[in-house]
Chains A and B, each alone.
Chain A
Amino acid sequence: MSIMTKELRVALAGNANVGKSVIFNQLTGLNQVVGNWPGKTVERAEGTLHFKGYAIRIIDLPGIYSLSTFSIEEIVSRDYIAVEKPDIIVNVVDASALERNLYFTLQLLELEAPIVMALNQVDYAAKKGIRINTEKLSEILGVPVVPTVAITGSGINELLTTVIAVASGEKKLQPLKVKFGVEVEKRVKKLQELVQRRLPQLCEVYPARWVATKLLERDSDVAGKLKNYEGGTEALQLAGKLAAELEKLHGEPSPVILASERYSIASKIAKEVTIVEAPPRISLEQKLDAISTHKILGYPILIGAILAMFSLIFIGGSLFSGFLESFFGNIILHIGNALAFLPSTAQSLITEGVLGGIVAGITIALPYIVPFYIILALLEDSGYLPRAAFLMDNLMHKIGLHGKAFIPLILGYGCSVPACLSCRIMETQRERLLAAFVVTLIPCAARTVVILGLVGRFVGLHAALAIYIFDLILIFILGRIAFKVLPGEPVGLIMEMPPYKKPSFKGVLTKTWSRTKDFVYVAFPIIVAGSLAITALNITGFINYITAGAKPLISGWLGLPVEAGVPLIFGVLRKELALILLSQLIPLESLSALQMIVFALVIMVYIPCIATIAALIREFGWKKATAITITDITLALLLGGIAYRILLILMPS
């Protein structure tokens, strides 16, 4: 072996929800989102790993069902596989759904891509009574097949060794040549011959047979590539003619004919290598499935689950919050005494600004954030999200979306930024925008800190839950309005429903830990900076100018104490910062119940934080991002003032 490290690019590709990201995390030690619903990975992720003198770049790709797709996250995968051509493609396959997974494998074979197959989830397949003869599968496909259980790491080392063996040429591939039925095959050959003859440059990039097949299935993307070549028109004409012949023969569009052909091959291979050991019994998972998607019972269960989630977070949060407050209150006091030798300005900058910020972050934000992350991880890993999407399909149609959009919505309760990105699972740009707009209105964990930490704690859980319910109603109304602004028939729902799985203790813990770590790294510097800034404004007296300027709006219109103005402005940075800063300016208990509710309401609706605005700009451009931001601010101020006036009548204090 040479001393120089050799570089290798290895991409993980396969259907959605098969375990690509778990394998990626195992290989790289990174923390890509995993969970039990299709469409988590929406962008490609990379990580490096050193193994046997190789520097291996591992690329995690979004799930993909076919090489001719439209949805943007799928285009990411297709382009990477077909255009950037990694050295090896690890085709991750779900052993419990072999036939459907092989459909994609066949397309990789058609592309003549160098594949190693990771036959994943063999543990789950075994539970379903399915065993796969890996040697036979490997023999038929002509590529190595490594059985893996990604979640335990079993088989991962062997997978890596196999990848290296193939890359170094030690192990030779003899990939299966995909052969269609007579009628299709005849036409593919004819077209292939023309492509080879007339488009030699294109054939240096893509296999001629693949180009021919894609043209025959009327793939608009490949057809587009041809336009740049002389001879392209001729090929397109022949392809059109041949496809029309086939369509006449079968009475189906040509892509359906080719899909049928591939599926019949996939089905044959799957039958040959599958040994059904035991007929699947009605398991606990199936019973859970039946009841949680039940026509009637499903809905109270969904509502109950969400309410229980917030109640649990609240109970856990206020418990810890109280405990931590008394603990850190003492420490601060001691530090303050120890710093008595410093000039008083420096002293208050350190104790109030820096320490005050950190302590407030720990006592106000973390106690709610951590239980929240645990529950979200449980929801994500169990497989409940796609069920919720199923139940909500109908209602989502009323706001111009379909059920899948409910998934980013729920993720939005965690953090708006990944939720906005996950709107990419929607099929059209219009739906992505609608979904993202709705997502910005969902109270993220930071806003939950304000709602539970202020209203829940001092007014009562019922009031906090009422705010969440009000938010859902608001979203529905606004969603309907947005739907009117951006009209169009939503694309229908087509979504794989993964089986329920028991969330693994380790998985939930890792996810909670990595999110909490991110939160601390991202939020705490901002909290400390904000806290320092406000302390400085306070010491210098500048705060009075801002407060005076904002007074008509803050006190006059919203009925809040004047001090709330500056925290509300700083809330653009992070939503929980607003509460933290307010707590540093005035004791939270001094607010009336009414003021707490209005403050929480305004925070919930007004401006997505800067991180979200940045995500919106990246996804939709600054114009649409600005439009969403302005809508949210106006709405928050409007609602806050109206709520103040209505509540004044309803709850005279």
Chain B
Amino acid sequence: MFRNRRNAQRRGGSKNEGELYALTDLAEGEKGIMVKALGGFGLVRRLAEMGLTPGVEVKLLRKGSFGGPVEIEVRGVALALGRGVASRVLVKPSKDEHHD
């Protein structure tokens, strides 16, 4: 069992192109391109059905406190993903991202 899974090596900041990050590493408001989801067959399929397929742009809307879930926007819909689930979704930096 890994309840309080910590996965916060890097939060936001500039990212190197080509490198992969967990969805949870994005800062609030930051966008990324979904690369792949790690995990069981069922989970990966469910995520794909909800619109999280490789190549799609995702935007991190907010992160819950104390390792809570994250809310993302994908294909015009807001989804809540548990932290464990979100940390298994790998993204790369979005090209048209504006640094502000």
- Pick out which of these stretches binds chain A: B7-15, B16-24, B40-48, B90-98: B40-48
| A394 CB contacts on chain B under 8 angstroms | 64-69
Q: Is A255 an interface residue (CB 8 A)?
A: yes
Q: Is B100 an interface residue (CB 8 A)?
A: no
Q: A99-B76, A295-B64, A495-B79 are in contact. Are A253 and B45 (CB under 8 A)?
A: yes
| B54 CB contacts on chain A under 8 angstroms | 252, 256, 260
Q: Is B3 an interface residue (CB 8 A)?
A: yes
Q: Is the CB of A259 within 8 A of B69?
A: no
- Pick out which of these stretches binds chain B: A84-92, A145-153, A385-393, A588-596: A385-393
Q: Is A338 an interface residue (CB 8 A)?
A: no
| Closest B residue, CB atoms, query A404 | B80
| B82 CB contacts on chain A under 8 angstroms | 393, 397, 402-403, 492-494
Interfacial residues of chain A within 370-427, with CB under 8 A of chain B in the complex: 386, 389-391, 393-394, 397-398, 402-403
Q: Is the CB of A255 within 8 A of B45?
A: yes
| B53 CB contacts on chain A under 8 angstroms | 256, 259-260, 263
Minimum distance in angstroms from A93 CB to a CB of chain B: 13
Q: Is the CB of A497 within 8 A of B80?
A: yes
Minimum distance in angstroms from B80 CB to a CB of chain A: 5
- Among A252, A295, A494, point to the contact of B63 (Cβ < 8 A): A295
| B69 CB contacts on chain A under 8 angstroms | 390, 393-394, 403, 493
Q: Is the CB of B44 within 8 A of A256?
A: yes
Interfacial residues of chain B within 42-81, with CB under 8 A of chain A in the complex: 42-51, 53-56, 62-69, 71, 75-81
Q: Is A66 an interface residue (CB 8 A)?
A: yes
Measured as residues with beta carbon below 8 angstroms from the partner, the interface class of chain B is 35 or more
In the complex, A100→B53 CA distance in Å? 12
Q: Is A499 an interface residue (CB 8 A)?
A: yes
Q: Kindly supply a per-residue 1/0 record for chain A positions 483-498, scoring 1 wherever the CB is within 8 Å of any chain B CB and 0 otherwise.
A: 0000001011111111
Q: Is the CB of B45 within 8 A of A259?
A: yes
- Among B36, B45, B51, point to the contact of A103 (Cβ < 8 A): B51
In the complex, A492→B83 CA distance in Å? 8
In the complex, A371→B43 CA distance in Å? 41
Q: Is the CB of A393 within 8 A of B75?
A: no
Q: Is A26 an interface residue (CB 8 A)?
A: no
Q: Is A97 an interface residue (CB 8 A)?
A: yes
In the complex, A290→B65 CA distance in Å? 14
In the complex, A584→B37 CA distance in Å? 63
Q: Is A342 an interface residue (CB 8 A)?
A: no
| B42 CB contacts on chain A under 8 angstroms | 70
| B67 CB contacts on chain A under 8 angstroms | 394
Q: Is B27 an interface residue (CB 8 A)?
A: no
Minimum distance in angstroms from B31 CB to a CB of chain A: 16
Minimum distance in angstroms from A401 CB to a CB of chain B: 11
Q: Is A296 an interface residue (CB 8 A)?
A: yes
Q: Is the CB of A494 within 8 A of B68?
A: no
Q: A65-B49, A263-B51, A494-B85 are in contact. Are A293 and B79 (CB under 8 A)?
A: no
| A403 CB contacts on chain B under 8 angstroms | 69, 80, 82
| Closest A residue, CB atoms, query B68 | A394
Q: A99-B75, A493-B85 are in contact. Are A256 and B80 (CB under 8 A)?
A: no
Q: Is the CB of A397 within 8 A of B3?
A: yes
Q: Is the CB of B79 within 8 A of A494?
A: yes
Interfacial residues of chain A within 118-149, with CB under 8 A of chain B in the complex: none
In the complex, A398→B81 CA distance in Å? 17
Q: Is the CB of B41 within 8 A of A253?
A: yes
Q: Is A267 an interface residue (CB 8 A)?
A: yes
| B76 CB contacts on chain A under 8 angstroms | 96-100
Q: Is the CB of A295 within 8 A of B80?
A: no
| Closest A residue, CB atoms, query B45 | A255
Q: Is the CB of B77 within 8 A of A97?
A: yes
In the complex, A493→B1 CA distance in Å? 16
| Closest A residue, CB atoms, query B2 | A489
Q: Is the CB of B65 within 8 A of A295?
A: yes
Q: Which residues of B contact A (CB under 8 A)?
A: 1, 3, 36-37, 41-51, 53-56, 62-69, 71, 75-82, 84-85
Q: Which residues of A contact B (CB under 8 A)?
A: 65-66, 68-70, 96-100, 103, 218, 251-253, 255-256, 259-260, 263, 267, 290, 293, 295-296, 386, 389-391, 393-394, 397-398, 402-403, 489, 491-499
29 contacts between A and B (CB under 8 A): A68-B49, A70-B42, A96-B76, A97-B75, A97-B76, A99-B76, A103-B51, A255-B41, A256-B45, A256-B48, A259-B53, A263-B51, A263-B56, A293-B71, A295-B63, A389-B80, A391-B68, A393-B69, A393-B82, A394-B65, A394-B67, A394-B68, A403-B80, A493-B69, A493-B82, A494-B50, A497-B71, A497-B78, A498-B78
**Ranked 5 nearest A-B pairs via Cβ:** A492-B85, A493-B82, A259-B48, A492-B82, A295-B65
Q: What 19 new A-B contacts, CB under 8 Å, besides A99-B76, A397-B3?
A: A100-B77, A255-B48, A256-B44, A256-B53, A259-B49, A260-B54, A263-B53, A295-B65, A386-B80, A390-B68, A390-B80, A393-B80, A394-B69, A491-B43, A494-B50, A494-B80, A494-B81, A496-B79, A497-B78
